[in-house]
Structure 1
Amino acid sequence: MSNPFENIKASILDLAPILEEGTISESFEKSADLAKHVENLGYYRYWLAEHHNMPGIASSATSVVIGHIASHTSKIRVGAGGIMLPNHAPLVIAEQFGTLDALYPNRIDLGLGRAPGSNQATAIALRRTLNSSPNDFPQQVEELEDYFKGQGYVRAIPGEGANVPIWLLGSSDFSARLAAEKGLPFAFASHFSPDYTIPALRIYRENFKPSGQLAEPLAMVGVNIVAAETTEEAQWLATSQQQQFLSLVRGEQSKLQPPIDDIDKEWSIHEKASVEKSLSSASTIVGDKDIVREKLLSFLEETKANEVVINSQIYDHEARKKSYDIVADIMQL
């Protein structure tokens, strides 16, 4: 029997969640354990995301955590999904990822986003000024590329000549257009911005110009998956992520909460609608093996993506690993 997922790579997006009853050190230990586990299952990449001022996410010093994960694995690609470039001098990112590439050759990816990764106050704390706007992102990307090529106005050492593929990340059409113009691979954050997925991918593919890095479009889509032996168990496990999004709707920040038996007791009708808009049924898949297979295949047929990057915000570490086991079995990794 043919495998409908045969030509699609499967990867991991990890936010290094900090649990309500856990510590930051434990978060990093669990991320390393998960990375080793999914490497053995056949997943292709392990990406970490830059977020700031969030009590439930430990991956703010993203390049440091990438080094931690790479040191505990041997072949899986490890990278940023992504680095929020406006928060940093491009020279510093070139040096950081040049260093990672020297330590872990041919294994490091650099996904770039243009959002602050938090609110405006945090952006000011990171940048000291907001003179730089998201519209400066194309110039910042070009400056970073020049450092890797050895064409910057100063030299990035390490960094110059590094073999670090650049991806552009987006949740709207801005980065889709830029990735197409520059001939770069594009990853869309459909796991929290589902409504714009298809339009952004269409813009990317229709406007793509081949480059030295890429001859044809290469698209990745993000998806939330909570898989378990039964759909009832998966729905229960998924209440942790629902609580996380509910806290964002309320303007509150919290650690990742344990599952609860009745999420409907926690939110109002309007809050539920807001959470469900972000966690769309197309790009948030919760269920047993059969449901996950059906919905994931449908999502990938609709998006025609080359790769899927899976986020599983599951409180229990063993249940999280089991969810990735089920997906690996479905996709025959």
Structure 2
Amino acid sequence: MKLSVLDQSPIMTGLDAKEAFRQSTELAKRTDELGYYRYWVSEHHSSHSLAGSAPEILVAHLAANTNRIRVGTGGILLPHYSAYKIAESFRVLESLYPNRIDLGIGRAPGGMPNVNLALNNGRHPNVEHYPNQIRELMAYLHGEDPHGLNVYATPTGDTVPPIWMLGSSGTSARLAADIGASYSFAHFINGYGGTRAMDRYLQAFQPSIQQKEPNGLVSIFAVCADTEERAEELASTLDLAILRIESGRGNEGFPTVEEAKQQQYSVFEKERIQENRSRMIVGSQQQVKQQIEALASSYSVDEVMVNTIVHPLEDRIRSYELLAEAFQLES
């Protein structure tokens, strides 16, 4: 089974975006050494807790600082942009790093509602055009001229970055199947309904110019430590961070273990923490390994993408090291 990394470039309490990007670079280097298969970075706007507002730029930096791991976006928010421009940006990346670039796309706003207006010159994006945008994007990437205007995405080349559609619902799964793209389900966003969505994708997949067979993965929050007790201690910071996001306080940054220990929770908040644990895997090395294997089996996929947000960086890296060892990744 393949293990991959999702990195949202979190800004920890007391730190800044410069440090978040430094940590992303260090994590990419280490997971590359450990044998992880892909490393994706996300797109978030107007956020003081997630630094990655321009993932295509971060992809170029991380690919330059690694050797073999695939680097990609998780993902570009396509309705805000021209499919032609995204195609050219990723053709440049593919020319620089052949067979190492993934183009993950989504249609979420990537921030508060006003982000939509700011990214679209004061207008709301037309999400109904999203399916056609994806078809245009795939055509441009593969050297076609979808509108017959004698316009092509350059630079051209022998290799093409694959499109991955990201989603957390059955709608995105069916669209990925209809278009013939790869599909990633965000279990770390929605802990329910994912297996049905993946089944729908696998069963309804239609071959495309990009690929002949379906290809899926599932992404999950995971915290692994040398002991279950330490893993729970670290995961308590993610519990608190998610509660802050749900209550509109996401810009406060990701808390430390000390902050989480001092936090007093209401009965409702305790219930929310328990509910949100459906989006996480937490435990010792063998516990997390077994749960990841079970998750992959339930989704009928052979790749799991792990999103670990803990502080300090040493514990975050240690979590990935333990998993690499448990799954005997090729370092």
Q: Is the 2:43–2:74 contact (alpha carbons within 8 Å) kept by the matching residues of 1?
A: yes
CA distance in 1, matches of 2:120, 2:285: 45
TM-score (norm 1): 0.92
Q: Is the 2:41–2:74 contact (alpha carbons within 8 Å) kept by the matching residues of 1?
A: yes
Q: Is the 1:84–1:114 contact (alpha carbons within 8 Å) kept by the matching residues of 2?
A: yes
Q: 1:223 to 1:200 in 2, by over 3 A?
A: same
Query: Is 1:237 matched up with 2:230?
Result: no
Aligned to 1:141: 134
Query: CA-to-partner distance for each residue in 1:235-275, whole Å, 9 max, x for gaps?
Result: 11112211221111111122111113755943322233334
CA distance in 2, matches of 1:286, 1:52: 28
What does 1:118-267 correspond to in 2, within 5 Å? 118-148=111-141, 149-152=143-146, 153=149, 154-158=151-155, 163-252=160-249, 253-260=251-258, 265-267=263-265
Q: Which amino acid aligns with 2:70?
A: R
Aligned to 1:299: 295
Query: Is 1:45 matched up with 2:43?
Result: no
What does 1:111-122 correspond to in 2, within 5 Å? 111-122=104-115
Q: Is the 2:25–2:62 contact (alpha carbons within 8 Å) kept by the matching residues of 1?
A: yes
SS at match of 2:192: helix
Q: Which structure 1 residue ranges, 4+ long, deviate > 6 Å from structure 2? A: none
Aligned to 1:322: 318
Aligned to 1:273: 271
TM-score (norm 2): 0.92
SS at match of 2:74: strand
Q: Is the 1:249–1:275 contact (alpha carbons within 8 Å) kept by the matching residues of 2?
A: no
CA distance in 1, matches of 2:203, 2:261: 42
CA distance in 2, matches of 1:249, 1:184: 31
Q: 1:123 to 1:32 in 2, by over 3 A?
A: same
Q: Is the 1:249–1:271 contact (alpha carbons within 8 Å) kept by the matching residues of 2?
A: no
Q: Is the 2:138–2:210 contact (alpha carbons within 8 Å) kept by the matching residues of 1?
A: no
CA distance in 2, matches of 1:296, 1:242: 19
1:93 CA drift (Å): 1.0
Q: Which amino acid aligns with 1:311?
A: N
Query: CA-to-partner distance for each residue in 1:164-219, whole Å, 9 max, x for gaps?
Result: 11111101112100111122110000112110211101111121122232222211
CA distance in 1, matches of 2:5, 2:93: 19
Q: 1:124 to 1:279 in 2, by over 3 A?
A: farther
Aligned to 1:25: 18
Instruction: Judge which range, 261-270 or 223-232, deviates more.
Output: 261-270
CA distance in 2, matches of 1:262, 1:55: 19
Q: Is the 1:147–1:160 contact (alpha carbons within 8 Å) kept by the matching residues of 2?
A: no
Root mean square deviation of aligned Cα? 1.8
Aligned to 1:331: 327
CA distance in 2, matches of 1:329, 1:165: 29
SS at match of 1:222: strand
Unaligned regions of 5+ residues in structure 1, if any? Answer: 1-7
- Figure out how many residues of one structure are paired with residues of the other and give that number: 324
Unaligned regions of 5+ residues in structure 2, if any? Answer: none
CA distance in 2, matches of 1:9, 1:102: 25
1:29 CA drift (Å): 1.4
Q: 1:181 to 1:38 in 2, by over 3 A?
A: same
1:161 CA drift (Å): 6.7
SS at match of 1:279: helix
Q: 1:138 to 1:275 in 2, by over 3 A?
A: farther
Query: Is 1:288 matched up with 2:284?
Result: yes
CA distance in 1, matches of 2:4, 2:78: 22
Aligned to 1:83: 76
CA distance in 1, matches of 2:256, 2:47: 17
